[in-house]
Chain A
Amino acid sequence: MKPRLQTSAVAVCTIALCIMTLSLAGFSRAEEQSSECLNCHRQRNMNANEGILSSRLFCFNCHQDPASHGDFRASKVSLQVKPEYFQKSPHKFVACVQCHTDVARSPHRSLSGVQCVTCHRQIYGRPGTHAEHFRVRCESCHTDSPFVTLDLTKNEVKLSHTNSKLVPISLAEHKTTDVTRQEFCTKCHTSNNLVGAPAMVLPSKSFVCVACHYSPLQMGNPLFLVAIGIALIGIVGILNFWFKARVQDEASSVHRKFQLGSEVVWSKIFSKEIFSVVKTIFFDILLQRRILANGVSRWFIHSLIFYSFFARFALSFFTLLLQKLSPEGELTLTLVNKDSSFVAMFNDLTGVFILAGVIWAMVRRYITKPDYVATQDQDTIALVIIGLVTFSGFILEGIRIVIAQIPQQIALSAFGGYLLSRLFSVVNLGWQTIYGYMWYIHALLWAMFIAYLPFGKLKHIFTTPLSLLLNYKRE
Chain B
Amino acid sequence: MADQTVRQETFWRFSVLQRALHLIVILGFVGIGLTGFSMAFSSVAPARTFVWFLGGADSVRYLHRFFAVVMYLCVVTHVFWLFYYKFILGGDLFGPNSICFRKQDLLYFRDHIGYLLALRNAPPAFDRFTYWEKLDYWAIFIGMQSMSLTGLFLWFPEFFSRFLPGYFINIAQVLHFDEGVLAVLYIFCIHLTVGHWRPEVYPGDWTIFTGKTTKETMMKTHPGEWASLNPSPRGSAIGEK
Interface residues of A (CB under 8 A from B): 19-20, 22-27, 121-122, 248-249, 255, 259, 262-263, 265-266, 270, 324-329
CB atoms of B45 and A23 under 8 A apart = yes
CB atoms of A262 and B16 under 8 A apart = yes
CB atoms of A26 and B45 under 8 A apart = yes
Residues of B within 8 A of A262 (CB): 15-17
- Count A-B contacts at CB 8 Å: 56
Q: Which residue of B lies closest to A262 (CB)?
A: B16
Q: Give CA–CA (A22, B48) in the complex, Å.
A: 10
In B43-79, the 8 Å CB interface with A consists of 45-46, 48-56, 58-59, 62-63
Given contacts A270-B209, A325-B59, A325-B63, contact A23 B16 (CB under 8 A): no
B89 part of interface (Cβ distance < 8 Å): yes
Q: Give CA–CA (A221, B110) in the complex, Å.
A: 62
Residues of B within 8 A of A255 (CB): 88-89
User: Other CB < 8 Å A-B pairs besides A26-B52, A121-B58, A326-B58, 4 of them?
Assistant: A22-B49, A249-B3, A262-B15, A325-B54
Partner of B62, one of A22, A25, A325: A325
Q: Give CA–CA (A284, B50) in the complex, Å.
A: 38
Q: Which residue of A lies closest to B54 (CB)?
A: A325
CB atoms of B17 and A23 under 8 A apart = no
Interface string of B180-209 (1 = CB under 8 A from A): 000000000000000000000000000001
Q: Give CA–CA (A416, B55) in the complex, Å.
A: 35
Partner of B49, one of A26, A263, A270: A26
Q: Give CA–CA (A439, B215) in the complex, Å.
A: 65
Residues of A within 8 A of B50 (CB): 26
B19 part of interface (Cβ distance < 8 Å): yes
| Min distance, Cβ A124 to any Cβ of chain B, angstroms | 12
Q: Give CA–CA (A324, B56) in the complex, Å.
A: 12
Q: Give CA–CA (A325, B66) in the complex, Å.
A: 10
CB atoms of A266 and B52 under 8 A apart = no
Interface of B is mostly: helix
B211 part of interface (Cβ distance < 8 Å): yes
Given contacts A24-B45, A27-B45, A266-B211, contact A326 B88 (CB under 8 A): no
Q: Which residue of A lies closest to B63 (CB)?
A: A325
| Min distance, Cβ A67 to any Cβ of chain B, angstroms | 39
In B190-241, the 8 Å CB interface with A consists of 209-211
Q: Give CA–CA (A220, B211) in the complex, Å.
A: 42
Q: Which residue of B lies closest to A265 (CB)?
A: B16
Q: Which residue of A lies closest to B65 (CB)?
A: A324
The interface size bin for chain B is: 20 to 34
Residues of A within 8 A of B55 (CB): 325-326, 329
| Min distance, Cβ A335 to any Cβ of chain B, angstroms | 15
Can you offer 24 A-B residue contacts whose CB atoms are under 8 A?
A22-B49, A23-B45, A23-B46, A23-B49, A24-B45, A25-B49, A25-B52, A26-B48, A26-B50, A122-B58, A248-B2, A248-B3, A249-B2, A255-B88, A255-B89, A262-B16, A262-B17, A263-B211, A266-B16, A266-B19, A270-B209, A325-B55, A326-B55, A326-B59
Q: Give CA–CA (A255, B46) in the complex, Å.
A: 48
Residues of A within 8 A of B2 (CB): 248-249
Q: Give CA–CA (A327, B55) in the complex, Å.
A: 10
CB atoms of B46 and A19 under 8 A apart = yes
Residues of B within 8 A of A265 (CB): 16
Q: Of B46, B54, B209, which is in contact with the most chain A CB atoms at under 10 Å from its CB?
A: B46
Q: Which residue of B lies closest to A25 (CB)?
A: B49
| Min distance, Cβ B38 to any Cβ of chain A, angstroms | 11
In B12-61, the 8 Å CB interface with A consists of 15-17, 19-20, 45-46, 48-56, 58-59
Residues of A within 8 A of B56 (CB): 326
Residues of A within 8 A of B20 (CB): 266
Residues of B within 8 A of A327 (CB): 58
Q: Which residue of B lies closest to A260 (CB)?
A: B3
Residues of B within 8 A of A259 (CB): 15-16
CB atoms of B58 and A27 under 8 A apart = no
| Min distance, Cβ B209 to any Cβ of chain A, angstroms | 7
| Min distance, Cβ B96 to any Cβ of chain A, angstroms | 21
Given contacts A255-B88, A259-B15, A326-B59, contact A23 B211 (CB under 8 A): no
Q: Which residue of B lies closest to A329 (CB)?
A: B55
| Min distance, Cβ B60 to any Cβ of chain A, angstroms | 9
Q: Of A24, A122, A325, which is in contact with the most chain B CB atoms at under 10 Å from its CB?
A: A325
Q: Give CA–CA (A325, B20) in the complex, Å.
A: 26
Q: Which residue of A lies closest to B46 (CB)?
A: A23
Residues of B within 8 A of A329 (CB): 55
Q: Give CA–CA (A130, B25) in the complex, Å.
A: 35
